[in-house]
Amino acid sequence: MRRYRIHSLISVILIIGIILTGCGGPISHTSEDYASGLRVHFIDVGQGDSTFIEFPNGKTSLIDAGTRGAGDRVVEYINDLGIDKIDYLIATHPHEDHIGGLPEVIRNFDVNRVYMPEKTTNTLIFEELLLELENKDLTIHLAKGGDVIIDGGKLKYSILAPNTDNYSGLNDFSIVTKIEYGYNSIIITGDAEKNSEREMVELGYDLAADVLRIGHHGGKTSSMEEFLIAVDPDYSIISVGKGNTYGHPHRETLNRLQKIDSQIMRTDELGDIILISDGKELKWEENLGAGDSIKGQYIGNQNTKVFHHMNCKSLPKEGNRIIFESIEEAKQRGYRPHKVCIKEGGN
Ligand SMILES: [Zn+2]
Ligand SMILES: [Zn+2]
């Protein structure tokens, strides 16, 4: 009965979203204030992805919020900036390492507009996200390539993908955004893979950018040669957790980035990475080791009483999960370690 109610709610929200979205939503025309500059924070959320943007016109945007365990850290990060509202919240695609922290974020901030791709899943975290949006009376705007969020002359925030609605994998539904400010530009790709990349190239979008937040944590089926040549980024940001068990970033991807002479910056090595632009030049700041305090590093299976590291490839189904802050906590609760992903005696 309960599931039925949630699923009808999902359809209602989606239908409302479709009705309200029309052809891309309102564009906010802004007065240009170059004094305050553009700041893009690639927040270190361990395995996952989260980007917070402070636009020179005073608006803000959050793209994803890492895993459920990273939600607190993203909230704290934005609070520490003295910011209490998110004008444009973007959930690139419904994978847990992107939307996991969003319910916590929505509970803590005033959110203005929400953008999601036209794609649903039936995971608990996705349903929780929809319920949280409903609690706050927020509608979902279905984003697609060509939509423009901000068009203020020298400041532009636009959407380059998704460009169709029937990809085989969830990752290719990722909302891809481009920020342009004066002479500087940044593309943020979520987990978009080669199908979406190829479409963006073929559709003739202006893909040239100084900075590329590369797709799918450096996985080998993203950042294909033709896309990288079109973007030709001076800098490539990879958002990836320490000791990642998916093998991200992939050697082949790193080789392709080296071939185009792009400087690689990784959150697992640099912590939070902050880009500042005055519309002419880019500056970087780093916040070393910032992601070490993420909660929920360990995930137990309530049926088998085995617990895993959050990066393990064989995590239990979401409905069976219990989250622990530490190995000690998991053991105290009677769980035993999964030998493949928990190396005891090490770090
Ligand atoms: Zn994904
Ligand atoms: Zn991901």
CATH number of residue 151's parent domain: 3.60.15.10
Q: Are residues 102 and 124 in the same domain?
A: yes
Output the pLDDT for position 77: 96
Distance, CA of 162 to CA of 100 (rounded, Å):
21
Q: What's the CA-to-centroid distance between 25 and ligand 2, angstroms?
A: 26
134 within a domain of the structure (yes/no): yes
Of 272, 290, 308, which residue sits at a domain end? 290
Instruction: With a cut of 70, say whether residue 5 has pLDDT above it.
Output: no
- Quick one: pLDDT band at residue 323, thresholds 50, 70, 90? confident
Please state the pTM of the whole predicted model: 0.77
User: What is the whole-number distance in angstroms between the Cα of residue 283 and the centre of ligand 1?
Assistant: 29
Q: Are residues 262 and 134 in the same domain?
A: yes
Instruction: Let me know: does 209 contact 237? Beta carbons within 8 Å.
Output: no
* Selected residue with higher pLDDT from 107 and 31: 107
The pLDDT, as a whole number, for residue 296 is 60
- Is residue 142 located within the same domain as residue 254? yes
Domain stops at, among 290, 309, 324: 290
Regarding whether 314 and 168 lie in a shared domain, the answer is no
User: Do 166 and 251 belong to one domain?
Assistant: yes
- Segment 325-334 shows an average pLDDT of 85
Cα separation, 76 vs 53, in Å, equals 15
Asked if 318 and 286 sit in the same domain, the reply is: no
186 and 322 housed in the same domain: no
In 3D, which of 186, 138, 139, 184 has the Cα closest to residue 158? Answer: 186
Average pLDDT of the residues in 212-216: 96
112: containing domain = 2-28+43-290
Number of folded domains that form the chain: 2
Using DSSP's 3-state secondary structure scheme, residue 167 falls into: coil
170 burial type by CB count under 10 A (0-12 exposed, 13-18 middle, 19+ buried): middle
Q: Are 17 and 139 in contact (CB under 8 A)?
A: yes
Interval 87-137: pLDDT, tens: 999 999 999 999 999 999 999 999 999 999 999 999 999 999 999 999 999
If phi over 0 gives left and psi between -120 and 50 gives alpha, with beta otherwise, what is residue 247?
left
Residue range 251-273: mean pLDDT, rounded = 94
Residue 33 lies in a domain: no
For the segment 161-171, the average pLDDT, to the nearest whole number, is 94
Measured in Å, residue 261 CA sits from the centre of ligand 1 at: 26
Question: In terms of C-beta density within 10 A (0-12 exposed, 13-18 middle, 19 or more buried), how is residue 83 classed?
Answer: middle
Q: Is residue 346 a part of any domain in this protein? A: no
Q: Residue 13: pLDDT above 80?
A: no
In the chain, where does DSSP find H-type helix? Answer: 2-21, 71-80, 96-99, 102-108, 124-135, 194-202, 225-231, 251-259, 267-270, 327-332
* Ligand that comes closest to the CA of residue 216: 2
Q: How far is the CA of 58 from the centre of ligand 1 (A)?
A: 30
Nearest Cα neighbor of 307 from 293, 321, 317, 292 is: 321
User: Is the pLDDT reported for residue 12 higher than 70?
Assistant: no
180: confidence class by pLDDT, cuts 50, 70, 90:
very high
Instruction: Say what the pLDDT of residue 328 is.
Output: 81
321-324, strands of its sheet edge to edge: 321-324, 298-301, 306-309, 336-337
- Ligand 1 centre to CA of 170 (Å) is 6
Residue 97 placed within a domain = yes
The verdict on 73 and 153 lying in the same domain is yes
Can you give the pLDDT at residue 294?
A: 55
Percent of the chain at pLDDT above 70? 85
| Å from CA of 158 to ligand 1 middle | 21
> Would 38 be classed as within a structural domain?
no
Q: Residue 128: how many CB atoms within 10 A of its CB?
A: 18
Which amino acid appears at position 272 of this protein? D
Whether 248 is in a domain gets the answer: yes
Q: Who's near 338: CB < 8 A, 6+ residues apart?
A: 306, 307, 308, 309, 312, 314
Mean confidence (pLDDT) of the chain: 87
Is residue 155 within 8 A of residue 177, CB to CB? The reply is no
**How many Å lie between the centroid of ligand 1 and the Cα of residue 177?**
16
Dihedral of alpha carbons 205, 210, 215, 219, sign: positive
Q: Distance between CA 101 and CA 263 in Å, rounded?
A: 29
Q: Give the confidence band of 288 by pLDDT, cuts at 50, 70, 90.
A: low
Average pLDDT in the 177-192 region? Answer: 97
- Most confident of the ranges 254-263, 307-316, 326-335: 254-263
Closest CA to 222 of 324, 92, 314, 339: 92
pLDDT of residue 341: 78
**Confidence at residue 34, expressed as pLDDT on a 0 to 100 scale:** 39
Question: In angstroms, what is the span from residue 235 Cα to ligand 2's centroid?
Answer: 20
In the reported structure, the alpha carbon of residue 312 is separated from the centroid of ligand 1 by a whole-number distance in angstroms of 15
Is the domain of 328 the same as that of 192? no
Other C-beta atoms within 10 Å of 313: how many? Answer: 10
Same domain, 331 and 188: no
The alpha carbon of 216 and the centre of ligand 1 are apart by a number of angstroms equal to 6
Could you tell me if 53 and 63 are in contact, meaning their C-beta atoms sit under 8 angstroms apart? yes
Has residue 343 got a pLDDT over 60? yes
247 CA distance to ligand 2 centroid (A)? 13
Structural domain includes residue 285: yes
Across residues 326-344, what is the average pLDDT? 83
Least confident of 1-5, 129-133, 175-179, 276-280: 1-5
Distance 174 CA to ligand 1 centre (A): 8
Query: Do 305 and 189 share a structural domain?
Result: no
Instruction: Tell me how far the alpha carbon of residue 142 lies from the centroid of ligand 2, in angstroms.
Output: 20
Task: Report the separation in Å between the CA atom of 93 and the middle of ligand 1, taken as the mean of its atom positions.
Answer: 7
Q: Which residues pair with 188 in a beta bridge?
A: 177, 213
Domain shared by 255 and 302, yes or no: no
How far is 345 from 314, CA to CA, in rounded Å? 22
Identify the residue whose tokens are 């994978």: 95
Last residue of one domain, picked from the residues 290, 307, 329: 290
pLDDT for residue 347 is more than 60: no
Predicted pLDDT at 312: 75
Q: Does residue 110 lie in a domain region?
A: yes
Mean pLDDT, residues 259-268: 94
